[in-house]
Amino acid sequence: MSKYSTQFKQSAIQAFLKRGRGFRHIAALFQIDPTLLRRWVMSYQLHGEASFEKPGGHYSSEFKLSVLYRMWREKLSLRATAALFNLGNSSQVRRWEEQYYSGGFQALSSSKKILVNPMPKAPRKPEETAPKPIEELTHAELLKRLRQL
């Protein structure tokens, strides 16, 4: 479920378009982020009422690649590309671009995230002696144990 209703989005977009004020001013009136309002307005100007339909689902590798090629060819921003194709947001386009750069066309077809260099976990240090009851520890030992935790 979307955080903002379609009616709320329409009200914010219409306020921006009719009042002729800046994104920040209108966004402050509606208590939303100006970037979010900018994305809604751009998408609405390109797609009209269809911009309110919930994006999502599975996109084919060919579609993802065509989105990336169009973005690169026309030197579009991530935000403009997402609005042009009525995608949820620009981070989705960024993910596709990262997938393409890391593994080419085949990486776009994989729905699994690929970890390039996962960081190894640091080995646990074994305890030197059997733990004493807390009541028997000295002040220095208590501080050392606290730092370890």
pLDDT band at 129 (very low <50, low <70, confident <90, very high): low
Q: What is the pLDDT of residues 30-78, one digit of tens each?
A: 898 888 888 888 888 877 777 777 666 678 888 888 889 999 999 988 8
Q: Using the structure block, give the residue that is written with the tokens 């993802």.
A: 64
Distances in Å between the Cα of 64 and the Cα atoms of 9, 24, 91 are 27, 32, 13
- Cα–Cα distance list, 93 to 12, 44, 49, 85 (Å): 25, 19, 22, 10
Confidence at residue 80, expressed as pLDDT on a 0 to 100 scale: 85
pLDDT tens-digit map of 98-126: 988 888 888 888 655 555 566 677 777 66
